[in-house]
Structures are given as structure tokens and as C-alpha cells.
A and B are shown apart, each in its own frame.
Chain A
Amino acid sequence: MQILQKEIADFKNELLAMASHAEGAIVRAIKALLERDDKLAEQVKKDDYILDEFEISIDNEAIRLLSQAPLAKDLRMIVTGMKISNDLERIGDEAAKIAKCTLILNKEPNLKEYIDIPTMAERATEMLRDALDSFVQGDTEKARAVQPKDQLVNQINSQVHRELAGYIAESPVNISRSLSLMVVSKSLERIADHAKNIAEEAVYIHEGEDIRHSNGAKHTQ
């Protein structure tokens, strides 16, 4: 069984490596947007394949580990690890989407000063870091604190959409940039959702409790 324990530790490390790439993808995508850096945006798009490959590798490894019939926390780690890798892969997709929008936005001057989008990016990245910390350290209090932060990001996204709708109504020349920024905002909202998922999954791994769809409250079965 020590072989299995070592393999599960390796599996966890591979997840952490994937998480590091996903976090880096968000940071670079937002930097490319704020600094109007086409080259960086192209790199983010190009590097998305790395997270795709991680997901495939982790899923294959999980299947192999499951064939050894692990139980208890080992079982929860592997099953949930597959879900976390899926969340991280989707985060990569959203970062690539932001990069794609950046390339479109950079063809014109900025529509407005970016205030809410950097705030959303900061919140979403913080949520992801907290979720990953709780996964690594077993700090489930930190994980539970991620759930309410998602509401704030959702509110900012709604506010951004309302504001951009105003720009669209104001003039047709604003349409393309407004729509691209709406996509960016939505992507950041989705990143926050995935970070929340990872936090919930961390609680399940370490406590065996399923807090999905509960806003942190206990499920009664």
C-alpha cells in the first residue's frame, strides 16, 4: 500500500503543477489586457494546450489509481482530483478567451479606463489561491470562506454588463469593444466559479463533507 500512497502523492503534485499553470495563465491574460500586449496574449492562447494535456494525464492517472480500489480519503482525493483538473482546464480556457478578446480590443483604443475588470481579476485569482491552499494544507475554513466571495464577483460582473450595455446604447462604434469586454468579465466570473468549485472539492477531500449548493451550510442526507 505504500506504493499507492506514493502514487497518490505524485498525483497530488501533478495537480498542483497544473494549478500553477492555470493561475499563471490568468495572471498573464489580464496583464496582456491591461498592458495591451499582443505578444503576451498570443502566448497565453498558444499555451492553453499545456492545461489540456495536464487534464488528460491526470484523468488517465486517476483511472489507473482507481483500479487499485483505494478507499476513504485516498478515494476522495482521486475522484475529486479529476474534478479539480477539469476546473483548472476550464480556467485555462477562460484565460485563453480573455487573451483572444485582448487581441480584438487592441485593434482600437481602450473604451474606458479598466477599474472593475482588474478588481474582478484580483478577486478571482485570490479565490483560486485560497482554494488551492486549502487543497494543499487541508485548511477547510479557508475553503469555506471562498464561497461567499463568489457572490461579490457575480455582482461586479452584473455591474460591468450594465455599464457596457450603456456604452452599446450610446453608439454603435462601441459595440465591438463592449462585447469583448463583456466576454472578459464573464470569463472572470466563470474563473471565480471554478475557484469556488475547487474550494468545495477541497472540503470534500479533507472532511468528507459535500458543501456544494449549500453556501457553506451542512447538507442533511
Chain B
Amino acid sequence: MHINLTTRNLCVETPDRDFYGKYMGGKGMGGYYLRQCAALSFDHPDMVVCLFTGPLVATIAPTSGRAHLVSKSPLTGLVGDASLGGRLPTQLKRAGWDGMVITGKSPYPIGIEIADHQVNFSRADHLWGMDTQQVHEHLAPGKAGLASIGPAAENGVRFASVTVDLHHAAGRSGLGLCFAAKHLKYLMVKGQGHTRVKDANGLKAAREEIFRLTAASPALMGQYGFSRLGTGAVYDLIDSRRMMPTDNFKSTWFKHAPRLNAAAYSKAYAPEKYGCRGCHILCKRIARPKGLHPMALPEYETMSHFTALIGSRDIKWVVAANDRCRRYGMDTITAAATLACRREITGKNFTRQSLLSLLDDMALNRGEGKELNKGALAYARSMGHPESAMAVKAMELPAYDPRGAYGMALGYALSTRGGCHLRAYPISHEIFRKPVATDRFSFSGKARIIKIAEDFNAVVDSLTACKFIFFAAGLEEYAKAYTAVTGEKSSAQDLISIGERIYYNERIINSLNGFDARDDDLPRRFFNEPGTCGNQIQVAPIDRGQFLTAREKYYRIRGLDSSGNPLEEKANALGLEWKRL
């Protein structure tokens, strides 16, 4: 579905089978449409905001209730994208849409309401200024899926997020600001149809295989796995491996961590399990504090960055900051990392009051918040200390210190959306030991591992499934599900090949915006300063020579030139249009 918010024109495109085979759905299709306007600024009326489901959505394929949101990132200028869950993706698919491409700019705040094939535009002047909780209460979506922005996006926060179904978010890249640039306050979808499945028994067999593998996964379903404790289960593990970013990445171990872990949240809040539609892992935790609305407890990244990274020692601060970010519609990782940068530069520690006030200032674009809400890099530059921004390509790093996992170091540097752990997700093998363990303090073999994993995860985000399930299952099982749903013969390797095309397309988009090897790098701190040793673990600075050698290898393996730029021959081989716009 193509919607132009300037003209209110709506048209339906029915792509051919080749298009589906080439780009799959989700991230792949979003990237295809972004490519058509790659060099435009994020707030240009012709810039697209794409929301695509994948072929498995609204089927019984496990963890497939997801979609991918894609546009140009206001924070980085790179491809901006995020996977999102909740019930919205399932509703969109059940309404009969594989995805939507939104262009134009409404002259006033607007909401898009979809009920099956009926699409309505509703004025949203009265909702502008409301936070995402208020929007949800006002619209009372019931079983419909609802994505909305909050005041952060309206006030130009570069890392504004889109809140989905109250407890979920398209968090990173500042996609909320892309909504705001179009005056799009919300999107609400209700569908009553079903995804047609070509081979129901085949899908059921694939699902059983995936369930069996999930049950065998300690990280997902084990005694201390995500299903029991939420993603916060990772907190103790990362601290024990001496790779918890602490004091703005000045050290890698936080001595207060044992009191701030998932067990502490469980004890304090007795949360309930919760998850996305179609998921049996249920990795979210919902607390019901007396007198307050039910609220999602912080995910691992938020737990870590709002404690160790900024030097706070109270889980109540974390819960309050997390809830405030959710209501405002702000990415918690970037918010916390920017505050950590401020703490390092100014030397001022936070109190609960100052922490929450600064979050208010960021979201409402006032006082010091006017600089902080542009992200850590812009803030650090404005303060004359760019070296204090722990970011890659202007996106702040998440809660895994790269000195403790060299695949992660390479993955951060090369990620097409900036400092992101999810593109290659190397903690799977460097920490979780899946599919097998690799030496986390070595670059040996990592260049190809990262490349394959990027392709792998690109197709996962196009299917669209949750990355967590791949701590247990593989594309072998998901290819079986894909074939059962679509009737298209496929294999794990066929899917990875599609992922390679999708990822290379992102590399081309970034190249069109001037990004190259100069940007595929890490902050100097990681090459010059050690992490915190202990527990028989030495955390040395990363050897820059080895890092650069691994990066060179990656460029060769990925089919890029020595400056990290795409090659016409490779683009042609992948069936991609060369750079011309």
C-alpha cells in the first residue's frame, strides 16, 4: 500500500513473484523502497517511511509476529530501521497488507486507521503533544495494533522512537522523528483475514522442530533464560564476562551489578510474562505497581546503560527512566549513552531528580536538552569533546563492550545502521556459545563470520522473525516454514543469499550518502584503554592493526573496494541496481 500524506492519495501495488523472491518482505522490501530516495534528507516529503511484514507473519511459525520499519535515520543519516513486535504486524497482515510505503507530509497532525481494506485518515491535532500512554488510552485500540509517537518526536529528538502496542518499540535510528516529519502521529490497524498457507502440515512440522530446539536452549527456555527472567537475564552474564560498559565505557565491570540484576527486578516487581503475538518465549516483563498503569520493565540494554554506564545504583531509577522514555517515545540506549557522555564531560553525577529532569528536557527540547537530544556525538562535539561520544557513525553503542568480544567490535564498526549489536549479533557465539563457541578475544575467522551473520540476520528481519529464536533454531528450520507458507522451494542457503542482496543494498544506500571506511571504525578509547580485568579475564585494548586487518578482510569478503565502497560488478551479480538514482 502506497500512501501519500500530502495528497491523501492511496494506491495499491501488487508486486510480482520475482520481487517477493528477491526482497522477501520486512527489511528487504523496506530497503528496496528506501533505495529509490536514498539521497534525500529524512524530512524531505518524498522520503519514504516503510513498514513491511514478512511472509511468515500471521501464521503459526514461531516468533513471526514482527515487522520492519525503514526510513532514513535522522540520527545518523544512514539506513534507519528497526524491528518491531507487539500485535501490530499481525494485524497489518491480517488486514491483507504485506506492507506500506508512506510518503508526503500532512499539513496537520494525522492518524492512519486501517480496517482490513478500508483506510481512513483522522485528524490528530488533539493528540499532538500527548505521550504514547495517553494516545493509547485515548484511542483505545482494543485488539487493533497501534503505533504512535510521543512528544520526543514532535519536538525533534533525533533518537525518537515509535511506541507499538504500549510495551514495544521501534527503538533505534530515530524513526519516531520520521513519523513526525510527516505529521504522522499514529497508525492503527485491525485485520480479520488470515495468511494463506500452502502446506499446513509442512508448517506444523517446521514449527515442532523449532519448538524442540527452543526447549533445548538454555538462553531462551532454561532455568535462567529469557522466558523465565526476560532479556535482563543477560545482565549478570555480561558483567561476569567483564564486558559490561561502565562509566561511559571507561571500564567493563560494575561492582554494584549483583544488586541490580534480573533477580532484583523479579523480587521487587513480581512481573508477569509478556510477549509479541505468535511468540512462545515471552521475553518481556510487565509489572503492575499499585496505583499505576501496567508497565514493561526495562530490557537488558536499558538495565545496563541506566545503571553501569551512567553510574546509578537503583533499579527504581531505571524503571522510572525506562517508563519516561517509553511515554515520550525515546530510544533508551541512545538516551542513556548521551547522558553518560554528559557525565564524563561535565563530571556531574546524577541524582534521580536530575536524571529524570534531563530526560524531560531532551524530550521537550528545552534547556540543556536541546543539545542532548541530538545524540551523544553531536552533544560531545558541541562541548568540544568528540572523543567522549561512544558511538559508531553517530549511533551510540549498546551494552556489550567490544574489548570483550572482537566479533562484536567488528560488527559494531561495520553495521549499516551505526553502533548496533543486532546486525551480526556475534554474542550468539562469542558469549552464548551458539551454534558453537568462538574465541571472543580473537579476530581469527571473524571477518567472514560477521559477513555471513549480517546476511543471516538481514533475512531474519525480512521473514520477519525474532532474532532471539536463532539462539536455538536455524534457517534450516525457517526455510522449511517459508516453503510451507509460500510454496516456494527454498533452503537455508537460499535464504542467506537473499540476505546478502538485502545487506549489500544497504551498503549502497549508505555509500550514496557518503559513508565509507572512514566511518567503519570504533571510538579511539577501545584501542587505547584496557577494560576491567578480573575473574581470570584480561580485557586488553583492541589491537588496532588486527582490527584493521580484519576489516580489510571483511571488505574483500563482502565484495567492497578497499575504501568500503560497493562495486558495480558485485551489485550486478546480486541483481541490484547500481548507484545511479
Question: Do these two chains really belong together in a complex?
Answer: no
Chain A residues within 8 Å of B, Cβ to Cβ: none
Chain B residues within 8 Å of A, Cβ to Cβ: none
